[in-house]
């Protein structure tokens, strides 16, 4: 889900925004590491480690709501990379010196996550090397936007911090340019697009804000000077990339497919599941077959109701496809897309409460908003959740409006997010999917499990919650809802097939689009969007299916063991209480308890 030293990739993926803290009102002093006198050696070492880690990764720190080092922008040069490697090696050594036999289960798993984080960081720098070939990794917008939009301190203080950051922007992009070697054309195009969005964050509005906030003339002049230099640096980077792209059009670009040699180790590091990527791929192929067979039955049940006396095709994919096509016409109008999503959130919350599925926190409402410009690019909907340093802050549901689409693109998109699937999307993103899970995660007693959380657990929970809600009767338990849900679930399964197929097996664009449109019944717009995403990310698309399968199997196993004593609400609340730890780790912790 997350590249360890790279914030921009977090914004790219539908990664549930663990890295996006948008706290609202907090104390104005930087938080001090809370080390109590009675803290265990492990707890003290962990707090010292975290403060050092944020100092070393100030952008990431701003993302999780830790502002002590917010005025620093590290230039991503060779010296910084060497420092990162030394940092990782040094802390691995310090943690290795602890007596592990004295740690309880919670601390042991925290330690495992810290190790995984540091080892992955090293692997990304030394082996994966996206810092060389992914120009979209370099973007200064997000931390600056967070500092401007988050009231963690009075505005004049935040503007002063931003001004200091801006002064370091030219050195940042100079280092970025120096790093780029044979990038992929796909990441180059994305970097151009997103850097243009960056200019809307580094706009003259900042100077108006400074005037309103009552900054001194001198401070305003400095801000103006730093802003102009930063804008110039971003424009320079865009120009550099455009020239480079014209050259790459003639040849010499890197293939966006990462290949098997990088794929397996990346899968192990990012997903942390109990199987190999190849095993997951095989499992997904089997699941696709199971879903097709189930949908075949549902299609037979629904055929005459919707298709009247139209001849039923012998081919099951044709039959299912025609039925889905007919049902998909039931969708909201383009201008109703955003309001409808907003309207559904309280309905879902009421259902979760009434059916006693899990406790919700009414003091922490979800804010539905249009996706900020600088975050647009891949996902149509995403969640920006506050980090564990400011767990009382707002959670945002970012919905990208359809303004950028022409009429036929919008129609295609709306058919995809039809009456049934739009509800499943809201379950996934909001209630009781990402929004609810991340609120629980931030209340977890383990800060490490919230900070270095596992993407497969986060996505797996959201996907699990879809099926769980339908099993509880949400949506009326109708064959229509189950058919559409199956189509949606097929998407998660095909995400895994697509990702492995493209990056490891060299699947072509034509074959990928065929898989998505014919076997997963996706629209042209959706399939093309997914094709774009698989070119820009790797492994992340498999996290949904892996985590979902692990959670569902675990629940079924407990149900069988506990029989009538099994309590769904208690299971959910306990499962969510460990933060965003890998599913296999949560299983261990839950079954180890008496
Ligand atoms: Zn329509
Ligand atoms: Zn998700």
Residues with CB under 5 A from ligand 2 (ion): 14, 459, 462
* Three-state secondary structure call for residue 376: coil
CA of 379 to the centre of ligand 1 (A): 22
Phi, psi of 395 (to 5 degrees): -110, 135
Ligand nearest to the CA of 465: 2
> Are residues 163 and 302 both part of a single domain?
no
Whether 289 and 195 share a structural domain: no
Q: Whole domain around residue 538: which residue ranges?
A: 257-333+349-357+407-594
Alpha-carbon torsion (209, 30, 67, 82), positive or negative: positive
Q: Please give the distance, rounded to the nearest whole angstrom, from the Cα atom of residue 78 to the centre of ligand 1.
A: 53
Q: Average pLDDT of 67-86? A: 97
Q: What is the mean pLDDT of residues 247-265?
A: 97
Question: DSSP character for 137?
Answer: G
Q: Which two tokens stand for residue 94?
A: 């310090």
Residue after which a domain boundary falls, among 199, 229, 256: 256
Say whether the peptide bond before residue 66 is cis (omega within 30 degrees of 0): no
Ligand nearest to the CA of residue 435, numbered in listed order: 2
Residue pair 527/513 in contact by the 8 Å Cβ criterion? yes
Helices (H), 472-523: 479-503, 509-514
Ligand sitting nearest the alpha carbon of 334: 1
Distance of CA 60 from the midpoint of ligand 2 (Å): 20
Same-domain check for residues 176 and 269: no
What is the chain's mean pLDDT, rounded?
A: 89
Does residue 503 have a pLDDT over 80? Answer: yes
Q: What pLDDT band is residue 207 in, cutting at 50, 70 and 90?
A: very high
Query: 3-class SS at 567?
Result: coil
Give the distance (Å) from ligand 2 centre to CA of residue 541: 10
Residues 519 and 574 in one domain: yes
* 462 in the same domain as 321: yes
Tokens of 386: 């506050």
Whether 380 maps to a domain, the answer reads: no
Q: What percent of the chain has pLDDT over 90?
A: 74
Q: Which ligand is nearest to the CA of 325?
A: 1
> How far apart are the CA of 253 and the centre of ligand 2, in A?
31
Residues 276 and 175 in one domain: no
Element housing 370 (H / E): strand 366-370
Helix 41-56 with 78-96: angle, nearest 10 deg = 180
Q: How far is the CA of 515 from the centre of ligand 2 (A)?
A: 21
Q: Kindly report, residue by residue over 556-570, the tens digit of the pLDDT.
A: 999 999 999 999 999
- The lowest-confidence range among 148-152, 204-208, 290-294 is 148-152
Distance from the CA of 489 to the center of ligand 1, in angstroms?
Answer: 22
Q: Do both 226 and 328 map to the same domain?
A: no
Assigned domain for 113 exists:
no
Cα(484) to centroid(ligand 1), Å: 16
Nearest ligand to the C-alpha of residue 460?
2
Residue 13 in contact with residue 537, Cβ under 8 Å?
yes
Sheet containing 395-399, strands listed edge to edge, beginning at the edge strand earlier in sequence: 366-370, 395-399, 381-384
Residue 146 belongs to some domain of the structure: yes
Give yes or no: residues 219 and 261 share one domain: no
In a domain, 9, yes or no: no
Mark which of 256, 289, 304 sits at the end of a domain: 256
Q: 503: closest CA among 495, 514, 492, 491? A: 495
Count of domains observed in the chain: 2
Centre of ligand 2 from the C-alpha of residue 461, in Å: 9
In the chain, what is the straight-line distance between the N-terminal and C-terminal CA atoms, in Å?
A: 33
For residue 574, being part of any structural domain is answered with yes
Look at residues 236, 256, 276 and tell me which one is the last residue of a structural domain.
256
Residues 286 and 207 in one domain: no
pLDDT at 104: 82
Residue 159 forms part of a structural domain = yes
Distance 177 CA to ligand 2 centre (A): 33
Is 272 in a helix, a strand, or coil?
coil
Q: Could you give the 3-state DSSP secondary structure of residue 241?
A: helix
For residues 205 and 188, what is the distance between their CA atoms, to the nearest angstrom?
A: 28
Q: Which of 3, 14, 16 is nearest to 439 (CA)?
A: 16
Closest ligand to Cα 333: 1
| Structure confidence by residue, pLDDT tens digits, 368-394 | 999 887 677 655 788 888 777 877 778
The 3-class SS string of 8-77 reads: HHHHHCCCCCCCCCCCCECCCCCCCCCCCCCCCHHHHHHHHHHHHHHHHCHHHHHHHCCCCCCCCCCCCC
CB within 8 A of 395, min separation 6: which ones? 364, 366, 367, 383, 384, 385, 386, 435, 438, 439
Rounded Cα gap, residues 45 and 35, in angstroms:
9
SS3 sequence, 429-441?
HCCCCHHHHHHHH
pTM of the model: 0.84
CA distance 133 to 446: 35
324 Cα to the center of ligand 1, angstroms? 13
Look at the block and give the residue holding tokens 């495992």: 112
Query: Distance between CA atoms of 275 and 106, rounded to whole angstroms?
Result: 23
Distance 330 CA to ligand 1 centre (A): 7
Provide the CB-side half-sphere exposure for 525 (13 A, CA).
Answer: 18
Q: Please, which residues have CB within 8 angstroms of residue 127's CB and are 6 or more apart in sequence? A: 262, 265
Same domain, 294 and 437: yes
Q: What is the pLDDT of residue 377?
A: 61
* Residue 60: cis peptide before it, omega within 30 degrees of 0: no
- Ligand 1: distance of its center to the CA of 194 in Å? 31
366, 336 Cβ separation under 8 angstroms? no
In terms of Cα–Cα distance, which of 156, 11, 135, 152 is closest to 76?
135
Kindly indicate the confidence band of residue 29, based on its pLDDT and cuts at 50, 70 and 90.
Answer: very low
Q: Are residues 470 and 587 in the same domain?
A: yes
Contact 523, 277 (CB under 8 A): no
Q: What's the whole-number mean pLDDT along residues 303-324? A: 96
Taking a C-beta distance cutoff of 8 angstroms, is the pair 402, 541 a contact? no
Measured in Å, residue 48 CA sits from the centre of ligand 1 at: 56
Residue 25 pLDDT: 25
* Top-ranked range on mean pLDDT: pick from 97-106, 346-355, 403-412: 346-355
| 4 Cα–ligand 2 center, Å | 19
Distance CA 427, CA 342 (A): 12
Residue 578, burial from CB neighbour count under 10 angstroms (0-12, 13-18, 19+): buried
Ligand nearest to the CA of 415: 1
| pLDDT confidence of residue 203 | 94
Look at residue 364 and tell me whether its pLDDT is greater than 90: no
Residue 593 — pLDDT band, cuts 50, 70, 90?
low
- Please indicate, yes or no, whether residues 283 and 201 belong to a single structural domain of this protein: no
Q: How far apart (Å, rounded) are the C-alpha atoms in residues 209 and 158?
A: 11
Distance 166 CA to ligand 2 centre (A): 33
- Read off the DSSP letter of residue 505: T
* Cα–Cα distance measured from residue 169 to residue 73, given in angstroms and rounded to the nearest whole number: 7
Q: Give percent of the chain above pLDDT 70.
A: 92
Q: Which residues, other chains included, contact 347 with Cβ-Cβ below 8 Å and sequence gap of 6+?
A: none
- Report the separation in Å between the CA atom of 428 and the middle of ligand 2, taken as the mean of its atom positions: 6
């Amino acid at each position: 889900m997350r590249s360890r030293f790279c914030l921009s990739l977090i914004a790219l993926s539908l990664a549930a925004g663990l890295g996006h803290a948008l706290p609202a009102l907090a104390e104005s002093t930087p938080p001090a590491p809370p080390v109590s006198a009675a803290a265990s050696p492990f707890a003290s070492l962990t707090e010292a480690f975290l403060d050092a880690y944020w100092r070393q990764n100030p952008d990431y720190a701003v993302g999780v709501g830790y502002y002590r080092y917010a005025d620093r922008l590290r230039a991503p040069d060779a010296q910084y990379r060497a420092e990162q490697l030394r940092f990782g090696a040094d802390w691995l050594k310090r943690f290795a010196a602890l007596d592990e036999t004295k740690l309880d289960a919670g601390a042991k798993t925290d330690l495992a996550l810290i190790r995984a984080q540091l080892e992955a960081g090293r692997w990304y720098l030394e082996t994966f090397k996206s810092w060389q070939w992914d120009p979209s990794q370099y973007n200064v917008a997000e931390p600056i936007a967070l500092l401007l939009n988050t009231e963690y301190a009075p505005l004049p203080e935040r503007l002063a911090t931003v001004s200091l950051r801006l002064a370091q922007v030219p050195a940042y992009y100079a280092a970025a340019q120096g790093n780029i070697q044979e990038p992929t054309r796909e990441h180059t195009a994305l970097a151009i697009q997103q850097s243009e969005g960056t200019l809307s964050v580094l706009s003259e509005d900042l100077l108006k804000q400074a005037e309103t906030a009552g900054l001194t003339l001198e401070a305003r002049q400095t801000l103006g000077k730093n802003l102009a230099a930063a804008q110039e640096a971003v424009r320079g980077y865009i120009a550099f990339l455009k020239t480079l792209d014209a050259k790459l059009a003639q040849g010499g670009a890197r293939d966006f497919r990462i290949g098997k040699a990088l794929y397996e180790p990346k899968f192990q590091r990012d997903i942390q599941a109990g199987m190999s990527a190849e095993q997951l791929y095989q499992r997904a192929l089997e699941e696709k077959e199971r879903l097709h067979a189930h949908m075949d039955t549902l299609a037979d049940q629904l055929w005459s109701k919707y298709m009247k006396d139209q001849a039923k095709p012998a081919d099951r994919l044709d039959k299912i496809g025609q039925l889905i096509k007919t049902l998909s016409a039931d969708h909201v109008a383009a201008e109703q897309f955003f309001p409808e999503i907003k309207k559904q959130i309280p309905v879902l919350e009421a259902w979760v409460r009434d059916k006693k599925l899990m406790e919700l926190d009414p003091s922490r409402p979800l804010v539905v908003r249009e996706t900020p410009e600088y975050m647009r690019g891949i996902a149509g909907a995403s969640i920006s959740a506050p980090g564990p340093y400011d767990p009382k802050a707002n959670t945002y549901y970012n919905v990208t409006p359809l303004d950028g689409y022409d009429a036929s693109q919008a129609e295609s998109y709306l058919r995809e997010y039809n009456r049934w699937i739009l509800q499943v999307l809201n379950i996934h993103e909001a209630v009781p999917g990402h929004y609810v899970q991340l609120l629980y995660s931030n209340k977890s007693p383990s800060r490490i499990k919230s900070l270095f959380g596992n993407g497969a657990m986060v996505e797996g929970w959201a996907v699990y919650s879809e099926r769980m809600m339908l099993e509880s009767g949400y949506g009326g338990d109708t064959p229509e809802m189950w058919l559409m849900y199956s189509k949606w679930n097929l998407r998660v399964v095909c995400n895994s097939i697509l990702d492995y197929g493209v990056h490891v097996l060299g699947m072509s664009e034509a074959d990928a689009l065929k898989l998505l449109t014919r076997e997963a019944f996706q629209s042209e717009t959706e399939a093309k969007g997914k094709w774009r995403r698989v070119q820009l990310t790797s492994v992340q698309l498999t996290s949904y299916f892996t985590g979902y399968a692990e959670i569902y199997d675990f629940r079924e196993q407990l149900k069988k063991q506990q029989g009538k004593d099994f309590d769904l609400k208690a299971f959910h609340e306990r499962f969510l209480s460990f933060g965003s730890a890998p599913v296999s780790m949560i299983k261990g912790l839950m079954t180890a308890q008496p």
